């Protein structure tokens, strides 16, 4: 009896340590959002306790007919799902486009870049200038680059959609509609997604 009790305690401890949450979700450890050095850049830790728990990276039940490896972006709920199969997906919290900058459709990952450069579209430069903001036409990859640590470039049958799945140092923007249309993730999350999604990955934005 004593041995059985010990096993129950050990099992309960393992479940607590794994980060299981209500509804069958399996949440990443807060350590997943710690600081790290990547390609010579020191990515600061995210104060993840300040981010709504539902936007933390976690495995969740997810019913879909799409094949494992598909990315589904739910802009309304502010979630990105990486389909795992067997009724599950890895869910990430995202920031999405402001009103008037949304995009929906089906695309695929045509290019991937680590610490990508960023070039401002001419329309954005003009729009921001009219608002009294001067933005650079081009920025080298780095910690303050708008595309963050990684970028996945979305193309469809017509070519480059102009939209990206990318990282951002602005962790406080996750769960909000703040961008110029692109889908942003915390840098720690885009690094994780980048390593999972090869060139050719199907992306559905709803």
Residues annotated catalytic, as ranges: 166, 182
Element (H, E) at 175: none
The DSSP code for 53 is G
Q: CB–CB of 168/184 below 8 Å? A: yes
User: Cα torsion at 157, 93, 187, 189 (round to 10°)?
Assistant: -80
Q: What 3-state DSSP class applies to 143? A: coil
In 3D, which of 15, 71, 65 has the Cα closest to residue 189?
71
Q: CB–CB of 135/128 below 8 Å? A: yes
């Amino acid at each position: 009896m004593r041995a059985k009790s010990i096993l129950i305690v050990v099992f309960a401890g393992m479940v607590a340590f794994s980060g299981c949450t209500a509804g069958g979700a399996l949440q990443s450890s807060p350590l997943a959002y710690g600081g790290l050095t990547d390609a010579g850049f020191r990515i600061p830790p995210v104060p993840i306790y300040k981010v709504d728990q539902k936007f933390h990276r976690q495995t969740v039940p997810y019913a879909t007919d799409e094949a494992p490896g598909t990315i589904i972006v739910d802009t309304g709920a502010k979630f990105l799902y990486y389909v795992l199969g067997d009724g599950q997906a890895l869910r990430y919290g995202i920031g999405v486009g402001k009103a008037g900058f949304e995009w929906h459709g089906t695309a695929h990952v045509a290019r991937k870049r680590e610490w990508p450069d960023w070039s401002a579209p001419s329309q954005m430069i003009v729009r921001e200038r009219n608002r009294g903001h001067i933005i650079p036409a081009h920025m080298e990859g780095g910690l303050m680059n708008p595309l963050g640590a990684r970028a996945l470039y979305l193309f469809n049958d017509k070519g480059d959609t102009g939209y990206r799945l990318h990282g951002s140092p602005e962790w406080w923007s996750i769960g909000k509609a703040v961008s110029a249309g692109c889908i942003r993730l915390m840098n720690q999350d885009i690094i994780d997604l980048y390593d999972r999604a090869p060139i050719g990955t199907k992306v559905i934005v709803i």
